[in-house]
Amino acid sequence: MKQTPLYQAHLEANGKMVDFGGWEMPLNYGSQIEEHHQVRNDAGMFDVSHMTTVDFKGAEAKKFLQILIANDVDKLKTQGRALYSCMLNETGGVVDDLIVYYQDDENYRMVINAGTTEKDIAWINLQAEDFDVIVEPKLDLAMIAVQGPNARAKVFEAMPGVEDVAGELKPFNAASLGELFVARTGYTGEDGFEIMLPEKSAEFTWKMLLEAGVRPCGLGARDTLRLEAGMSLYGSEMNENTSPLEAALTWTVDLNNEDRHFVGRGALEALRNDGVKKTIVGLVLNGKGVIRDHQKVVTSIGDGEVTSGTFSPTMGKAIALASVPMGTTGSCEIEMRNKLVSAKIVKPPFVRNGKVLV
Amino acid sequence: MSEVRDDRQYTETHEWILDNGDGTYTMGVTDHAQELLGDMVFVELPSEGDEASVEDEFCVVESVKAASGVYAPVDLEVVEANEVLDDEPELVNSSCYDAGWLVKFKSDPIDGLMDASTYSETLD
């Protein structure tokens, strides 16, 4: 199995290591619920070095990204600005979801999922054949996400010089400091940074953050936090057979520029004209139990399926994202351990910045 | 290393059974089980007077990771359920052999389950 540069640090912190798509990663360091609260209330850090950074360089970098992904990088005008997008196949299904950062029209940086990296790189290279662009996976970078209301202050305390370049950063923007790349982004619904850095600096930086009071958090808490924040997980809410229009990600698809023929556009337009049949909604369980992935959802206009289910530590209730027939509102029932249990249908996010919103 | 206590018997499904000496037994899940399951969030308990036949699922412990049935080791009648767990399911994690017990029941004498050393060997 593959290990990140922080593998030893995880063992020292009693990380419970599990196989996560071929990577040996910490599920938790004792209690995933305590780690969850740590991020909502103070500051926690996640090793996300298994994710992959890809740089795009060349005269046609912008033109290439405009056909590669469904959102339009033309929106990015200032250095460090970030954009969330899906990368589609010809049938409008999602190859991966990603964040792309703007440096200038000839330089972009992209972060893609760990489990999809090989597939993504092959796909990107195939699409890039006719463009003047160099696709450069940066496999020697580590990545640490520091998240929580006190995350930024603790990063400034732990990492000299970062406040000078990142102190004024607005959400969804990034800045560089030498080999460091600091982005005010995340996957928890809290403020904070995602920091890319050379492998050799990872362990030292992790220790400095520990000393500043940032607590290590595992993949378990990462999942409950992102689910409370209503954020999609590739492979759960969307996949190669589900388009963004069917996954409540229409806001990430930019059809404004009619001359921008991005991959999958034709399929999306055809789907839109035929009528989109399903979408993703949030569910809050009435009563006890925990909603689990793939449980059947029964609504008045047809059946659906739980795409991500969990227990929300912030709300003290079971919550889920579920794929249901378009137009489902009000309430539904979930088939849990051979019983039908009622649930309320809500619009995610469930929790943002420590506050319950549903 | 998971803790195993010498004073009680164990099942293959990672429950412990303690003889109270008065014809009743106390039952819970083992340290190994709670470690595997992770943070507990709900415990579904039977009511006093409920009867269960051997191998019936008569409790459910549910963690962030999974729901897990708890099985009757013999034919039994519930005499008490640990209702504190309704509000503090995390006691199953922090004190699985003491405050995190699940049920007390009466039954015919129980023997033939695993003792501590046999159960420990199954965990290796």
Q: Does any domain span residue B101?
A: yes
Domain residue limits at B66? 9-108
Contact A100, A65 (CB under 8 A): yes
CB nearest B62 (choices: A31, A33, A289): A289
Which pLDDT band holds residue B124 (cuts at 50, 70, 90)? confident
| Optimal mutation site among A17, A20, A290, interface B, most CBs of chain B within 10 A | A290
* Greatest alpha-carbon span in chain B: 37
Give B37→chain A minimum CA distance, Å: 11
Q: Does any domain span residue B2?
A: no
Whether residue A220 and residue B65 make contact (CB cut-off 8 A), yes or no, is: yes
Q: Does any domain span residue B89?
A: yes
Per-residue pLDDT, A344: 98
Report whether pLDDT(B44) > 90: yes
Q: Does any domain span residue B51?
A: yes
Whether residue B64 and residue A311 make contact (CB cut-off 8 A), yes or no, is: yes
Per residue in A4-20, pLDDT tens? 999 999 999 999 999 99
Per residue in B87-123, pLDDT tens? 999 999 999 999 999 999 999 999 889 999 999 999 9
Q: Does any domain span residue B86?
A: yes
Contact A101, A174 (CB under 8 A): yes
Give A27→chain B minimum CA distance, Å: 10
CB nearest A288 (choices: B38, B42, B66): B42
Tokens of A33: 């619920």
ipTM of the complex: 0.84
Whether residue B38 and residue A289 make contact (CB cut-off 8 A), yes or no, is: no
Number of domains in chain B: 1
Identify the CA nearest to A72 among candidates A62, A58, A57. Answer: A62
Give the number of beta-carbon pairs within 8 Å between A and B.
Answer: 34
Tokens of B117: 């050393």
Mean pLDDT for B38-62 is: 95
Question: What is the C-alpha to C-alpha distance for residues A217 and A195, in angstroms, rounded to an integer?
Answer: 15
Give B62→chain A minimum CA distance, Å: 7
Per residue in A218-252, pLDDT tens? 999 999 999 999 999 999 999 999 999 999 999 99
Q: Is A349 helix (H, G, I), strand (E, B) or coil?
A: coil
Q: Does any domain span residue B1?
A: no
In chain A, whose CA is at the least distance from the CA of B38? A31
Within 8 A of A311 by CB-CB distance, chain B residues are 41-42, 64
Could you tell me the CATH number of the domain that includes residue B80?
2.40.50.100
Report whether pLDDT(B1) > 90: no
Per-residue pLDDT, B11: 96
Q: Does any domain span residue B3?
A: no
Report whether pLDDT(A338) > 90: no
Per-residue pLDDT, A320: 98
Question: What is the C-alpha to C-alpha distance for residues A110 and A335, in angstroms, rounded to an integer?
Answer: 39
Q: Does any domain span residue B4?
A: no
Within 8 A of A292 by CB-CB distance, chain B residues are 66-67
Mean pLDDT for A55-74 is: 98
Per-residue pLDDT, B111: 85
